[in-house]
């Protein structure tokens, strides 16, 4: 875990302060509610979630009762909206604004930047609300590329925090160090304008969770085949495979096998990989039982999009397995009409457990 940036001015902070009223938050770019869920678990009241994705609405509202989903593009939302709608006051020390904006423009796995330009400047729009409300705290989570991309909006955003009197720290964190069975490197920022609180990140775990700790029969995931449809709210549903795709999985060795297991099979080898064994090595691979899962993306239901094969069953991981590796509670219900839409909400989410730990750090000040 590496510290990237800090404008901490070295002022000695006192921990002797009056307890704040119950902390409350507004979750911008909330998606299906991973950050909201974790903050609520920590005891923070989340007033509202904002997202333009209509497919997120039912899932968000069902799992976060009492929190209002506002379906809109942040660029069309007036700065005073929350003051008018929810009586949110400026300069509220107990208010947290969260801005985990979509990150396609800065993602290393996105090759067509022209399609992701809309995500480039979303933090600029988010900063407008920080300036208007001047909350006690600001939280941001994004891909690591936002800290390294030459076209990043991050320097502007940090300069705005400086101008508005915020102290902040940023880090690249790996979620596997915070009680999440997944290797997921993310940019994380905590900021405050309060002088009597210490800025700190959650403590790292001594032991990493692995795939074995979360999925498998011992954890309540009964064996299924590719194409299994779970009609219950548990959603232990797995995408189907073509006959050739099934043969590839059957020939991929258990517990971390890869497409190299069938690279010499003329029937199964894909032409694009001939002579390119070192390219996209995780594609069609299986997870390892005793390692954290790879980053759960929005395509985790497809073996052709990464190392998303079950460690031993001949299929991609299910929707519920992906959600569990993202630390969603087992009773979190995904109210979507397709596997792809559920996977998008899951893959784009801030892992709930990391959000919970961030919330507790702020509460304990």
Residues in the chain: 365
Does the annotation mark 272 as catalytic?
Answer: no
CA separation for the pair 365, 361 (Å, rounded): 6
DSSP-H helix ranges across the chain: 34-42, 57-63, 81-86, 122-133, 154-163, 211-214, 243-251, 319-325, 339-347, 352-364
Place of tokens 């509220």: 92
26-53 exposure pattern, b = at least 16 Cβ within 10 A, e = fewer:
bbbbbbbbbbbbbbbbbebebbbbbbbb
Place of tokens 């925090």: 161
Structure tokens at 325: 């590796």
CA separation for the pair 25, 137 (Å, rounded): 9
CA separation for the pair 137, 134 (Å, rounded): 8
> Cα–Cα distances in Å, from 252 out to 27, 81, 306?
41, 54, 14
Q: Which residues pair with 286 in a beta bridge?
A: 309
Catalytic residue among 30, 37, 103, 352: 103
Q: Which of 58, 56, 70 is nearest to 27 (CA)?
A: 70
How many Cβ atoms sit within 10 Å of the Cβ of residue 130? 21
Active site residues: 103
């Amino acid at each position: 875990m590496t510290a990237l940036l800090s404008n901490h001015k070295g002022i000695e902070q006192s921990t002797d302060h009056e307890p704040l009223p119950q902390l409350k938050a507004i979750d911008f770019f909330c998606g299906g509610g991973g950050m909201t869920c974790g903050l609520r678990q920590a005891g923070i009241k989340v007033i509202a979630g904002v997202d333009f994705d209509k497919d997120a609405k039912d899932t968000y509202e069902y799992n976060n009762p009492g929190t209002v989903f506002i379906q809109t593009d942040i660029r069309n939302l007036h700065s005073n909206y929350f003051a008018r709608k929810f009586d949110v006051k400026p300069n509220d020390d107990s208010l947290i604004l969260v801005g985990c904006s979509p990150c396609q423009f800065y993602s290393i796995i996105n090759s067509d930047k022209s399609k992701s330009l809309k995500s480039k400047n979303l933090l600029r729009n988010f900063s407008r609300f920080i300036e208007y409300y001047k909350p006690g705290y600001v939280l941001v989570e994004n891909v690591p590329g936002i800290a390294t991309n030459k076209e990043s909006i991050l320097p502007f955003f940090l300069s705005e925090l400086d101008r508005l009197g915020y102290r902040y720290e940023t880090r690249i964190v790996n979620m596997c160090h915070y009680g999440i069975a997944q290797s997921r490197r993310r940019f994380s920022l905590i900021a405050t304008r309060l002088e009597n609180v210490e800025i700190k990140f959650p403590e790292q775990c001594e032991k990493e969770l692995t795939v074995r700790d979360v999925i498998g029969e011992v954890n309540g995931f009964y064996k299924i085949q590719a194409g299994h449809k779970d009609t219950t709210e548990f959603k232990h549903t797995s995408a189907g495979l073509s006959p050739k795709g099934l043969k590839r999985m059957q020939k991929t060795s258990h517990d971390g096998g890869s497409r190299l297991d069938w690279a010499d099979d003329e029937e199964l080898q894909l032409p694009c990989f001939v002579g390119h064994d070192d390219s996209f090595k995780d594609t069609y691979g299986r997870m390892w039982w005793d390692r954290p899962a790879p980053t759960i993306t929005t395509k985790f239901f497809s073996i052709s999009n990464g190392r998303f094969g079950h460690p031993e069953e001949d299929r991609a991981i299910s929707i519920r397995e992906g959600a569990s590796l993202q630390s969603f509670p087992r009773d979190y219900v995904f109210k979507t009409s397709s596997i792809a839409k559920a996977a998008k909400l899951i893959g784009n989410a801030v892992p709930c457990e990391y959000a919970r730990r961030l919330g507790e750090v702020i509460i304990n000040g």
